[in-house]
Structure 1
């Protein structure tokens, strides 16, 4: 049976949209444009950016695509099956609404969903309409086999009851800690209910309008999570450690590697000993595209979309409110 091919456009030709395609340090495809251009079932037909210089540079990288300064014009003329939104968070809502009104089949959006939970709430009505498109939010670790394996190990209590979780991020609460929060929600399979946080004033490295916050989070079942920010100017980091009563799991190297440890019980003082290591060689971008096509064809809900996107922002907003109150404990407001 012959499978359909889908056309796609990328709105936003920055690093994630297009420029990272030349970064040899990552597994290809390295950008959303690269994923569409090299996909066996997809065709990159257009690139969009309001910055002429950035658009021209992206056009050189992908010479067979048409270039547009206007997203509305590109969607109207190209009538794509897939729209990828790789623009700053403040533009996401309006671009999602535009794509939905235009009748596209699939939307892939970069994180975070919106600048705040209040703004993200408006999307519920947008996607409640009949025949609304598949919507995939690129919290890509949900698509990775290594994370699915760790989730199963935690659920099956292979490391016992979770006692503590420690997480480390860099380059902004909304920009990158959102990945950490989403991974926690996915791996523990439960909501975070309350948080307390303080601004890390020694760490100014973050995108404009963002903030770095160190905090303590607590899940519905009482698991406590330590969240700490690092200075991106020194190095980037995305590490997570889950400590159970029978062992531990570490997710390292931005989630590409994992390490399982068990407790060496014959010692005078029980200590951890590494039992197994694994490496996940995957693309940051391919998973979202594969998920969008899978959900469209099988008419299923994506593992990362509107629901978890709104949950992540609710936690981030609570941390920001707590930091504004000098660490006062805040309940997470889920809408």
Structure 2
């Protein structure tokens, strides 16, 4: 147990409860990440819901639980505040944290529910009043870090296109899926190329609760497609990266590399051959995010791997599409 004091506001799924999902890689919550980080101490938790406060208290043996965030910040003086509440609450919580001189916060995605508030949060980060990370967790995941390195080193030659798919809730509007979980997809594409997506056109309606829509984009000179789907009974988050001499498929529970080689099917033609690199037993996505936050706390000049500015850029792109 360390001495960097962490407090969490929002004790629901991503704040705490998902840690009891037996199938998920651990840690998979803010509380779980703090509990496993040797530099950190879980100082307090805050939620309007009494049952969630009690569950948090018992699960993490944390007796300092609050209904009021101002009181929690005043009485516990956290070094790192984890904001795991709905996006429409983020700006007000960030402002409250600044008033209580909290040096660093980790804000769940999406950064805010509209562009104006996202811009204000990013502005607070840029001003130096408080360092703000956006929990775009895939930036910290070993499989995506490897993919970024392969792109930069041109291991499989030039990257020529990215095709991505996101299927989520079967009865949600496509624009809702895009705004909430699509932020991860948009951000990870930005991260892989160290650039910003630009929307060119949309095929289909993002207002519907059935079917599929396609967003056609460019990132630098690279063509990128985003397929958003609903009406499915399953989750799918996947990127397919096509290189001049290879391919990578990456997503939730998926990592595959293919290299160009002499075809076993045709003379004088190459085919893609699956390499022996596939899957990661542990990606470290949540642990690495908190490690980055701790480094930023210790060195206020450090630029976070995933900052509020990155959160703003993802929302800016999505709102341009919807």
* TM-score when normalising by structure 2: 0.88
- 175, 183, 192: which one aligns with 1:187: 192
Aligned-residue offset at 1:81: 0.9
SS at match of 2:113: coil
CA distance in 1 between partners of 2:259 and 2:66 (Å)? 55
Q: 2: CA distance between counterparts of 1:283 and 1:16? A: 16
Q: Distance in 2 between matches of 1:270 and 1:87?
A: 51
* Matches for 1:236-315 after TM superposition, within 5 Å: 236-252=235-251, 254=252, 256-266=253-263, 267-268=266-267, 270-280=270-280, 281-298=282-299, 299-315=301-317
Aligned counterparts of 2:67 and 2:210: Cα–Cα separation in 1 = 33
- Cα RMSD after superposing both structures: 2.2
What is the distance in 2 between the residues matched to 1:162 and 1:57? 47
After TM superposition, give the deviation of residue 128 of structure 1 in Å.
4.0
**Residues 260, 282 of structure 1: CA spacing in aligned structure 2 closer, same or farther, 3 A cutoff?**
closer
How far apart, in 1, do the equivalents of 2:18 and 2:231 lie? 18
Question: 2 CA distance for matches of 1:306 and 1:213?
Answer: 28
The corresponding residue for 1:37 is 35
1:42 positional shift: 1.0
Q: Structure 1 residues 143, 284: closer, same or farther in 2, change over 3 A?
A: closer
Gaps of 5+ in 1: 206-211, 321-335
How many angstroms apart in 1 are the aligned matches of 2:125 and 2:209?
38
Can you give the 5+ residue segments of structure 2 that lack an aligned partner in the other structure?
Answer: 169-176
Alpha-carbon separation, structure 2, partners of 1:45 and 1:192: 39
| C-alpha separation in 1, matches of 2:206 and 2:116 | 25
Partner SS, residue 26 of structure 2: coil
SS at the partner of 2:181? helix
- 1:222-259 per-residue CA deviation (whole Å, 9 max, x = no partner) reads x211211234761111111101121111113x1x5421
Of 136, 140, 145, 1:139 maps to 136
Offset of 1:204 from its aligned partner? 5.4
2:51: which partner in 1? 53
Pairs aligned (count):
308
